[in-house]
Structure 1
Amino acid sequence: MAPKRRIIIDTDPGNDDVIAMLLALAAPASELEVVLISVVEGNVDVRACVRNVVAIFHVLDEEIKWRKSQNLPAGFEGCTKYKPLVAIGANEPLHDKSDNADYFHGTDGLGGSTVTHPEFNPHESWKRLFEEPPPDDELTKTASDQVKDLEDKPFSNFTTSRQPAHKEILRLLRENEAETISIVSIGPLTNLALAAAEDPETFLRAKEVISMGGAIDAIGNVTPNAEFNVWADPHAAARVYALSSAIPSSTMPSTVENYAGQDLPAYPPHLSKTLRVVLMALDITEEHTVSKSLFQQKSGELCARGSPLAKWMQAFLNPMLDKMASLHHGHDNDATLALHDPLCIYYVLTQDDPKWKSSSKSPEDIRVECTGQWTRGMTVNDRRPRKRRDSDGEAPHDRGNWLGNKSGNRIERMLESPGKDECGAWILDRILGYVQ
């Protein structure tokens, strides 16, 4: 049996982010432990993202009660045997102003379901869980008990952090053995860039960064050239990708990034190792989908029987599938939703399968365009059929040191998975309890 994997999920939920987290939490405890869910601004504003994370745990609590009442296995050992930490992260990108994807995901990130199906919303007390409590001597005993009740009863299946997410990432990497925690990034890379800027050597203790982002040979989904997660904070993506290079300065953004009024430092000229970056770009994620008919088949009976999870998933996925149908001339049963973010968790759970194949040119020198008027967030690779040079000095025919043996990024881009056609059903079965 493969050893248990431990991951940090950095996320901006978002419909497919929620599916990814449900898949991770549904994994048996022997397979996977989610040690931290760090939240970043992206698809919607950061507070809405946090609410959606809390909603996952709220619905799962109800689902586990329902399953027990039906004499079904409870599942979701990711929040019954473990209590993942949840931390709030960046509320803006490093360099430019925020521009969310609420035009697609809805202003709540869940297709408007927080309004149409309020029964699935978490208790409003979640907002207080992330605030610093007042000192004990400023609380009456009754007030102290109320705070304790908020933390112990309504949300007992996760743990709250009051530290910024990037600091929690660093703490966990520092306190655990090196290369035992993978970071799964399914949103903009702002939190990761902040952690790496503050303490790059601690950040490099991560086993790997598995990142959903970019479009290499595929077309973009927010501009003709760019995928949303990279486009939303290209400077952050560039900084994280640069850690895959033996010479990070060779691919760092040319502009100065700052966060909350403070400039981010450059990396030291020499680091102890390079970062393994596994890229799940649109080139592969667009090929892994779930259709409306398959989703209805998998969730319909459970909805009829009263499953809170199946009902909630229908509440936020059906509007998105209907939107995809309208974009494709109303062919309702053929409407599909790409499993962009869930594919990263699918990879974590199945990465020992030899059917996973990376690009024949991997590791590739993939860089991020940060300043282009029409190409912001474009992920650029070197397609020239030329060998790398022994020298890393600047040469007139190679502006940017693309062909250096040490300069340039080294990104492992996945192109094939074990089950393009079966992936959607496998993910739904895992989440809805058909597979234990």
Structure 2
Amino acid sequence: MTPKKIILDTDPGIDDILALLLALSSKSEDLELLLISLTFGNIEVKNCLRNVVSMFHILEREMQWRRDNGKAEGYGTLRASRPVVAVGAEEPLESQKMLADYFHGTDGLGGIHATHPHLTASNPWEHLFDPAVDPESIQPVQKGAGPTDHSFLPSRLPAHKEILRALRENDPETVTLVAVGPLTNLAMAAAEDPETFLRVKEVVVMGGAINEPGNVTPVGEFNAYADAFAAARIFALTSPSPNSTLPPTESPLLPPYPAKLSKQLTLRLFPLDITLRHNLSRGQFTSAVEPLLAAGSPLAEWVNAFMGHTFRTLERLHPGHVGDDAQLSLHDPVCVWYALTAEDSHWASSADSPEDIRIETLGQWSRGMCIVDRRSRHKIDGDQESSSDHGLWLSTRAGNRILRMDGSPAEKTFGKILIDRLFH
């Protein structure tokens, strides 16, 4: 069986790390993780990089610990092939930067690098990603190249160029791009080479809120809010006429798309409406991790350190989230789980899919809001704006075509599935 190929664009972050661990813990015959592309978001991108490198450091120690104790190593995807790691966007395209360090901590993992320095990778790896080196003078990373003492392949190329490289080097419609942070890297890749970007099989996006309140404003979900322009530009590629839904801009780095593109982007959106239904309780986590802590698992010690911070933060922010009942919503891991199990018939999109969902970019109070046309109106066969259809919402030839996911095979059990995959 040919493994599924994915790119994971991420801003680690607590649930991002859980999503990465879920991907890497897969069997090698199920998944090949081609690229981890990093963006600002939950925290500054330099801290995202430190968290990813520390994750690999811990996984190397964990697999050695398992071997020493006669246990199955697990993490077949990681053992089979080393993913490229590339550093991307440091800030949004055209708006003020906002981080989610109020939840994740300044370092993204609840201060773990200060409280548990023995679990943090040392600094010599930083030069491997040195952006001072001219990217045009560097050959793209090749499989099998790079330092032998790391379980990842560092790249000095910007993340959006690595996304395009991965899509060029693989057959069209074979790579799924899972995006669980702001969509800045994706928007930069699509702006530079839209046709190469459209070689992707589908883009799986964690972002937005449709019928649920936002989590950073009353209507704005964090990823959509953090770079609304980028989200709007990626959503526009799902349209038969992409430029019909592009946000206004004067930036020469963000030109309109060509009038004719070879295809429309397939985009599956995982908004808060579905991700909030997939949770891990403190009680579930504690019962699973305590025996592993006692046995000396490095991975259990690392994850337990930042999850302790997470559950304390949930208690502080949300009424009713106390003790063993405190629940972490597994926003990002759900998207990876979809990429792994997409053929499961229990995955379901909304009854209205594909939907014309657009991201508000200019509103004073509504930045990042998902706008959906809820009017009951006849469609109009054309692509010219009329007095009865400002914004081409009713046009059959314009507007976005988003597949909004609304059902999964594991809403009640996903927390247990995740923990079992990570630790066994």
Superposition TM-score, scaled by structure 1 size:
0.92
- Cross-structure match for 1:151: 147
Q: Is the 8 A contact 1:290 1:425 kept in 2?
A: yes
Equivalent-residue separation in structure 2 for 1:404 and 1:415 (angstroms): 25
Aligned partner of 1:371 in structure 2 is: 362
Once the two structures are superposed, residues 210-229 of structure 1 have per-residue CA deviations (whole angstroms, 9 ceiling, x without a partner) of 00000011100000001000
Displacement, 1:112?
1.1
| Runs of 4+ off more than 3 Å | 132-135
Report Cα offsets for 1:313-370 as digits up to 9, x if no partner: 1000111111112332562111000000000011111111111111100000000000
Partner of 2:180: 186
One of 291, 296, 319 as aligned partner of 2:286: 296
Match of 2:107 in 1: 108
Q: Does residue 336 of structure 1 match 2:363?
A: no
Distance in 1 of aligned mates of 2:380 and 2:198: 27
**Aligned equivalents of 1:73, 1:406: Cα separation in 2:** 54
Q: How many angstroms apart in 1 are the aligned matches of 2:166 and 2:234?
A: 18
Aligned match for 1:163, one of 154, 157, 165: 157
Contact 1:129 / 1:151 at 8 angstroms: preserved in 2? no
Q: Structure 1 residues 75-84 or 206-215, which shifts more? A: 75-84
Question: Which residue in the other structure is 2:143 paired with?
Answer: none
Q: Separation in 2 of the partners of 1:81 and 1:345?
A: 18
CA distance in 1, matches of 2:333, 2:271: 13
Q: Secondary structure at the match of 1:95?
A: coil
Which of residues 400, 406, 412 in structure 1 aligns to 2:397? 406
Could you tell me how far 1:134 is from its partner in structure 2? 8.4
Looking at structure 2, the residues matched to 134 and 109 of structure 1 have their Cα atoms a distance apart, in angstroms, of 27
Amino acid at match of 2:412: D
**TM-score by structure 2 length?**
0.95
User: Partner letter of residue 165 of structure 2?
Assistant: R
Task: Find the counterpart in structure 2 of residue 268 from structure 1.
Answer: 258
Match of 1:230 in 2: 224
SS in 2 for 1:341: helix
Tell me what 1:195 maps to.
189
SS of the residue corresponding to residue 170 of structure 1 reads: helix
Q: Distance in 2 between matches of 1:250 and 1:207?
A: 23
- Cα distance change, pair 253–317 in 1 and its aligned pair in 2 (3 A): same
Which residue identity is paired with 1:152? T
Amino acid at match of 2:147: E
Contact 2:133 2:156 in 1 (8 A): no
Seq. identity, %: 49
Deviation, structure 1 residue 132: 6.6
Contact 1:325 1:334 in 2 (8 A): no
Q: Is 1:43–1:109's contact at 8 Å kept on the other side of the alignment?
A: yes
Q: Secondary structure at the match of 1:10?
A: strand
Please give the alpha-carbon distance, in whole angstroms, between the structure 1 residues aligned to 2:111 and 2:332.
Answer: 20
Aligned position for 1:142: none
SS in 1 for 2:36: strand
What SS does the aligned partner of 1:37 have? strand
Show structure 1 runs of 5+ residues with no match.
Answer: 136-149
Map residues 209-224 of structure 1 onto 2, 5 A cutoff. Answer: 209-224=203-218
The aligned residue for residue 144 of structure 1 is none
Q: 1:133 to 1:331 in 2, by over 3 A?
A: closer
Instruction: Assess if the C-alpha contact under 8 Å between 1:78 and 1:84 holds in 2.
Output: no
Residue 265 of structure 1: how far off its partner (Å):
1.2
Deviation string 1:90-115 (CA, Å, 9 cap, x unpaired) is 10100023111111110000011111
* Partner amino acid, structure 1, of 2:299: L
CA distance in 1, matches of 2:323, 2:387: 54
Distance 2:154 2:176 in 1: 21
Q: Which runs of 5+ in 2 are unaligned?
A: 135-145
Q: Is the 8 A contact 1:328 1:335 kept in 2?
A: no
Q: Which moved more, 1:165-174 or 1:190-199?
A: 165-174
Residue 386 of structure 1 deviates from its aligned partner by: 2.7
Counterpart in the other structure of 1:18: 17
Partners of 1:122 and 1:343 lie apart in 2 by 27
1:80 Cα deviation (Å)? 1.1
Structure 2 Cα separation of the partners of residues 130 and 29 of structure 1 = 27
- Show CA shifts across 1:62-87 (max 9, x none): 00000001111101122211100000
